[in-house]
Amino acid sequence: MASRATITLFHNPRCSTSRNAAKLLAEASESTHTFTIDTIEYLKHPLTAAQIKDILGFLDVDHHPEVYAEFLRKDAPKAETVEQVQEILVNDPAMLQRPLVVDWNKKKAVIGRPAEAVLNIVKDL
């Protein structure tokens, strides 16, 4: 039997979109048995600068600079570089747009707005 992939959900349980995304992922995991979910409450365990850089790379920010704005909440300071995003999120993890789902092995990431978007990362597992 093949091993199951693990995806990471950066989650805020106080956010309804994040809760909906977590539910959709749990249902998909249970029905397909192809992946497990590593849920991280990013307000308690913030992303590191290295994780932020990797995820922005997975989102192909070099070819899609609009990702800088999508990666942060609408009320976050404007960022135009990886370093600016890192500084914003290291200083205030709450500025992360959530939910965020990452497949570290396949180097893919999805911002879960709307919540159903998170299913894009697991459709090929």
Contact 58, 109 (CB under 8 A): yes
Q: Which residues of the chain have pLDDT under 50?
A: 1
SS3 37: strand
Residue 34 CB burial class (10 angstroms; 0-12, 13-18, ≥19): middle
pLDDT at residue number 2: 59
Please tell me whether the overall predicted TM-score, pTM, comes out greater than 0.85 for this model.
Answer: yes
What length is written for the chain? 125
pLDDT at residue number 4: 87
Write the CB contacts of 18 (distance below 8 Å, at least 6 apart in sequence). Answer: 11, 12, 98, 99, 112, 115
